[in-house]
Chain A
Amino acid sequence: MADAVITIDQLTGWVRRFNDLVIKNQAELTELDSAIGDADHGINMARGMSAVINKLAGDHPAHVNELFKTVAMTLVTSVGGASGPLYGTFFLRFAGATGPATELDAEALDMALRAGLSGIVERGKAATGDKTMVDALSPALDAIESVIKNGGDLVAAVVAARDAAAAGRDGTVPMVARKGRASYLGERSAGHMDPGAASMSLLFDALSAELGR
């Protein structure tokens, strides 16, 4: 198993790829948000991730927790909208779960992502089915755990997570929003993909791309 662990360099690469994908999909994310929100998700995420990349150009965190604490705090101070504290909480909790590691195996990655999910759920008071980023993140983690349980490796787990996140993202289309600004629209929010679920799915696209898939 060549990829039994994901190294700090690969994790940094994950963050860079996430930035690339956010910027590439910025217009689409904003368009999704203009349908059911305040039309700033793409712009805010692109600004936040660009700030992260600038920050990482100067700092070269040696440990996983430093890396994701930097990501979190930079997002919190540069995003401005609700995705700042939400992604900020996600990466802060992720960092808290890994400690000063230099690499993560599948279980450690799963634990860190799980801690991030709890943070988002706690912060946003959202559950699956509320038409939020949780609808992409939660099935992704279930997929990782299912692969690990069946003896699959890290790459297989990440690929399964990517696919589950994408399916979860697509699953938000018919949902009626119960959290965030979209919830003010009630039934009218149905028929549109949730922008937070879309950006969360990009996070898993970036992770699997970093592992060569």
Chain B
Amino acid sequence: MVGVVVVSHSPRLAHAAVELALQMVHGPAPRIEIAAGTSDDRLGTDAVRVAEAIVAADDGAGVVVIMDLGSAVLSAELAVDLVPDPGIKTRLVSAAFVEGIFTAVVTAAGGAALDDVARDAEEALYAKSAQLGQTQTSTADAVSDLSAGAIVAEAMIINPDGIHARPAALIVGALASLDAQVMIATETSRPVSARSPTALMSLGAQAGDVIRIEADGAAASTAVDRVVALVRNGFGELTGVDPLKTQQSGGLSSQDFQSPAPIGVSPGRVIGPALRIPDPVLEPDPRIRLPEADRLEAVERLGKAAADVASQLQDRSSAGGTSVNCSRRLG
């Protein structure tokens, strides 16, 4: 599986973007390595860490590198020079950061080859442009050269949110292991590659739209069947059943089409109060030593802080258990 390296000035930015992408991966995930921030916890990038991340992310299938901006790009370029093993195929991708990571992770999880993962990540902004009505050409939607013998099927989208990020990821995942070229079109848009999550999202297929699936190749028939099954069961968004699991266990039951429960981009979306997660407490640098003269004062400061914390904890526990959490709630 193609590995993904995320280079950012900010570890929190990188982790959050990766977390968002991993929501869409339901099977085995690709190797994802983050090289973000400096060794002394400032915003910045470090080419040596990027090089180590490239080595760690490679399992032989190659690595795509997604960067935020400025020195992240320079560090990634230098890192390619620093990687000791010249055999690691590495692509630095000029992708939008969030969209690029999202697409690279989903496409890599789907088993795509290095060049395809890199291309899809680069074109990841296409879905957003299309959504906003701004045209942009994608190479993933211009390759409709299927033979006359292609297998064709049509299916109506029944899940209320249409082909958004999660269904797109499911289609890519369902086709991952199949030897087939698969294109999907709607009545109003040109065929796009069914192996590209962003191209699929750019279709803008909504509930009630009929999509046309065309497949060519040894596994064309299976490919079409899988996509049709996903569409017909509403991508699992009608019942909360994971459609891939259903598919593997051999078909859908009528129960899958009942219970129009709420749906969302993740298998379960609920509305609730947000809890702010405090910043992680950083380990102090053991190399930093206080000068002798300042130590007494520092001890006094620590003592006072400890006493303050103890008294606050006492206040809170006497005011009732839940108020501790309430004070941290947003909104």
Residues of A within 8 A of B (CB): 44, 73, 76-82, 84-86, 88-89, 92, 123-124, 180-181
Contact assessment for A181 and B70 in the assembled complex, using a CB-CB cutoff below 8 Å: yes
Q: How far is the CB of B80 from chain A (nearest CB, A)?
A: 11
Q: Is the interface of A mostly helix, strand, loop or mixed?
A: helix
In the bound complex, residues from chain A placing their C-beta under 8 Å from that of B77 are: 85, 123
Which residues 36-54 of B have a CB within 8 angstroms of A? 38-40, 42-49
Contact A123 B70, CB 8 Å, known A79-B44, A80-B46: no
- Of all chain A residues, the one with the shortest Cβ separation from B44 is A80
Residue B74, interface by CB 8 Å: yes
Give the distance in Å from the alpha carbon of A123 to the alpha carbon of B46 in the complex.
15
Number of A-B contacts (CB under 8 A): 57
Residue B144, interface by CB 8 Å: no
Question: How many chain B residues touch A (Cβ–Cβ < 8 Å)?
Answer: 19
Residues of B within 8 A of A (CB): 38-40, 42-49, 70-71, 74-75, 77-78, 81-82
Contact assessment for A73 and B48 in the assembled complex, using a CB-CB cutoff below 8 Å: yes
Contact assessment for B44 and A81 in the assembled complex, using a CB-CB cutoff below 8 Å: yes
Contact assessment for B47 and A76 in the assembled complex, using a CB-CB cutoff below 8 Å: yes
Q: Which of B39, B70, B71, B74 contacts A78 (CB 8 A)?
A: B39
Q: Which of A44, A82, A88 contacts B70 (CB 8 A)?
A: A82
Contact assessment for B46 and A76 in the assembled complex, using a CB-CB cutoff below 8 Å: yes
Contact assessment for A82 and B74 in the assembled complex, using a CB-CB cutoff below 8 Å: yes
Give the distance in Å from the alpha carbon of A88 to the alpha carbon of B43 in the complex.
18
Give the distance in Å from the alpha carbon of A44 to the alpha carbon of B46 in the complex.
12
Q: How far is the CB of B123 from chain A (nearest CB, A)?
A: 23
Contact assessment for B78 and A89 in the assembled complex, using a CB-CB cutoff below 8 Å: yes
Contact assessment for B47 and A78 in the assembled complex, using a CB-CB cutoff below 8 Å: no
In the bound complex, residues from chain A placing their C-beta under 8 Å from that of B44 are: 44, 79-81, 84
- Of all chain A residues, the one with the shortest Cβ separation from B77 is A123
